[in-house]
Structure 1
């Protein structure tokens, strides 16, 4: 795992923990939110999302970003 990916995972973990603490994310919907947050963090810090994650960019309502 390269340095950028590791940093993105660490930042995503911190963001998700804050959302769980404030009640915006629950353990039941954790998986629904972690991937999109991770991809956005990775994109923001200049990394590339994993190839299998790139296909999953649709918004929950079916619209693309």
Structure 2
């Protein structure tokens, strides 16, 4: 039997706003670029957060300016 606190958490998560189609594409594109950076050795676990944020911001600004 499910614990009540787990059921409450699931219900709360279902109310979270969904990504807009534009943000979903930006997020997927960012992921692909950062994965390539990791494969090429240009991104390490220590710099992942900064690189991901910078790539996401750049792509978002580019898409939004069109």
- TM over 0.5, shorter chain: yes
Unaligned runs of 5+ in 1: 48-65
- Compute the RMSD of aligned alpha carbons: 1.2
Unaligned runs of 5+ in 2: 1-18
Flag the structure with larger Rg.
Answer: 2
Question: Which structure shows the higher helix fraction?
Answer: 2
Q: Deviations over 1:8-61 (max 9, x none)?
A: 0000000000000000001111001111110110111127xxxxxxxxxxxxxx
Q: Give 1:11's aligned residue.
A: 29
TM-score normalised by structure 2 residue count: 0.66
Written as runs of structure 1 = structure 2, the 5 A alignment for 1:23-62 is: 23-46=41-64
TM-score normalised by structure 1 residue count: 0.67
Runs ≥4 in structure 1, deviation > 4 angstroms? none
Aligned residues: 47
